[in-house]
């Protein structure tokens, strides 16, 4: 029976890694923590939040990922998407072959309770471009690259980036965020047409965002459109 430990030596280590992103000051940031001096491996290196999948502790990978994210960010109901499972000896060369299931998480900055550092973990939010230049623990460099690529791809066709913004936001805010993720300028008029036509946003009647200019209409996301795919990429062909 596989239930016994007869096969134990044939089983891999398993773990989860989460790439938690926020959008702050018009930049995408990712959460890293510094591994302690006394870690078994990859001492003192920065790392994405992660967790070994210990079956005496967790029922499934999702729970382990959830735990690891909450431990570092204190966000309880995260927007979390599994995007790939890596495997091989290379992930953690000093141990046995490891399976690493990875998630990215699009978080609302205002809901992230943890700032820089906190008790046992030294955590920090790092500009994504800068984080890419770090030497990270385990295979987290490739994890981070793929995670960010998936987030950017989602911005092309889906409404996923909305989860970066506050509950109530303006069309301008969504446009600037989208423009950042797809790395292209977007025509304001065209963007409004595209958005408003689909019905993905609900106007907050009477609520306006004030500034040193004409007040802007606030909207909330229409959850019915979760998983919605635009029939066309926001990026123009050519």
Partner DNA sequence: GTAATAGTGTCTTTTAGACAGTATCGA
Partner DNA sequence: TCGATACTGTCTAAAAGACACTATTAC
The single-letter DSSP state of residue 40 is S
Binding of DNA by 152 (CB under 7 A): no
Binding of DNA by 74 (CB under 7 A): no
From the list DNA, its own copies, none, which binds 1 (C-beta under 5 to 8 Å, kind-based)?
A: its own copies
From the list DNA, its own copies, none, which binds 8 (C-beta under 5 to 8 Å, kind-based)?
A: its own copies
Q: Are 150 and 104 in contact (CB under 8 A)?
A: yes
Handedness of CA 38, 39, 45, 46 (dihedral sign): negative
Per the rule left: phi > 0, alpha: psi between -120 and 50, beta: everything else, 138 is: left
Binding of its own copies by 149 (CB under 8 A): no
Min dist CB 170 to DNA, Å, is 5
From the list DNA, its own copies, none, which binds 40 (C-beta under 5 to 8 Å, kind-based)?
A: its own copies
Q: Are 86 and 143 in contact (CB under 8 A)?
A: yes
Q: Are 218 and 207 in contact (CB under 8 A)?
A: yes
Binding of its own copies by 84 (CB under 8 A): yes
Binding segment (CB under 8 A) for its own copies, from list 50-58, 72-80, 125-133, 165-173: 50-58
Task: Give helix 188-198 / helix 171-182 axis angle, nearest 10°.
Answer: 110
Binding of its own copies by 222 (CB under 8 A): no
From the list its own copies, DNA, none, which binds 61 (C-beta under 5 to 8 Å, kind-based)?
A: its own copies
Tokens of 67: 């735990």
Binding of its own copies by 214 (CB under 8 A): no
In whole angstroms, give the CA distance from residue 19 to residue 28.
Answer: 12
- HSE at residue 212, side-chain half, CA atoms within 13 A, is 0
Task: Give helix 140-157 / helix 171-182 axis angle, nearest 10°.
Answer: 130
The one among 44, 85, 184, 193 contacting its own copies by CB under 8 A: 85
Binding of DNA by 124 (CB under 7 A): no
Min dist CB 117 to DNA, Å, is 33
Binding of DNA by 189 (CB under 7 A): yes
Q: Using CB under 8 A as the criterion, which residues of the chain lie in contact with its own copies when the complex forms? A: 1-3, 5, 7-14, 40, 52-57, 59-62, 82, 84-85, 87-89, 92, 94-97, 99, 101, 156-157, 229, 231-233, 235-237
């Amino acid at each position: 029976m596989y239930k016994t430990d007869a096969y134990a030596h044939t089983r891999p280590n398993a773990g989860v890694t989460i790439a938690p992103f926020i959008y702050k000051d018009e930049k995408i940031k990712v959460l890293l923590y510094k591994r302690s001096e006394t870690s078994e491996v990859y001492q003192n290196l920065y790392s994405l939040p992660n967790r070994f999948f210990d079956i005496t502790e967790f029922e499934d990978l999702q729970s382990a990922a959830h735990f690891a994210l909450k431990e570092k960010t204190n966000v309880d109901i995260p927007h979390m998407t599994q995007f790939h499972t890596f495997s091989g000896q290379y992930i953690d060369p000093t141990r046995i072959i490891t399976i690493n299931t990875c998630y990215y998480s699009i978080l609302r900055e205002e809901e992230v309770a943890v700032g820089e550092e906190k008790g046992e973990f030294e955590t920090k939010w790092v500009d994504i471009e800068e984080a890419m230049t770090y030497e990270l623990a385990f295979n987290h460099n490739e994890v981070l690259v793929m995670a960010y690529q998936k987030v950017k791809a989602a911005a092309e066709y889906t409404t996923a980036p909305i989860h970066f913004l506050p509950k109530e936001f303006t069309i301008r805010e969504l446009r600037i965020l989208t423009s950042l993720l797809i790395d292209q300028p977007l025509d304001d008029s065209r963007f409004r047409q595209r958005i408003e036509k689909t019905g993905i946003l609900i106007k907050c009647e009477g609520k306006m965002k004030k500034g040193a200019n004409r007040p802007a209409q606030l909207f909330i996301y229409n959850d019915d459109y979760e998983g919605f795919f635009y029939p066309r990429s926001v990026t123009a062909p050519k």
